[in-house]
Structure 1
């Protein structure tokens, strides 16, 4: 996994897929404390607008974070930052 900073710009057409870059930036922002545990991330449309991508690309980035446990998705409510003990371990299978 590539390291991304919280203020990195997205490189369209680069070797790393855009949704992976966005997930990395969002992960870095969570680590920096921009969003606290149990607090919502910005909505898909807001992320899409910020990064200049389609809403589906923003959704895919959030799904990456959800799959790794960094955030959890509540249907009809959005994505929320996971509690620290549940985020990013990836060890439990």
Structure 2
């Protein structure tokens, strides 16, 4: 799965979908951290606000919870 830099869909939505797919396939297991905002910036070549928006989208979807000062973690049982 790749992001389409020139497509109509917002980049943060595309990145959130890629990370959600990795959560679903077990790449990022429950109770483990997803990549940091800095790592998302580097991997997807996007700005920090875009990376932050992608993580926030995952939080809104109930897939991830953010722990202040520690990072963002996959939830035990995703809320769908």
Fold-level match, TM-score > 0.5? yes
Greater radius of gyration (CA)? 1
* Band the TM-score falls in, shorter-chain normalisation: over 0.9
Q: Extract structure 1 runs of 4+ deviating beyond 6 A.
A: none
Aligned residue pairs, count: 80
When the two structures are superposed, what TM-score results if normalisation uses the length of structure 1?
0.82
Mark the runs of 5 or more structure 2 residues left unpaired by the alignment: none
Which structure has more RCO (C-alpha within 8 Å, separation ≥ 6)?
A: 2
**1: CA distance between counterparts of 2:15 and 2:79?**
16
Q: CA RMSD in A?
A: 0.8
Give me the TM-score of the superposition, normalised by structure 2.
0.95
In structure 1, runs of 5+ residues without a counterpart are 1-7
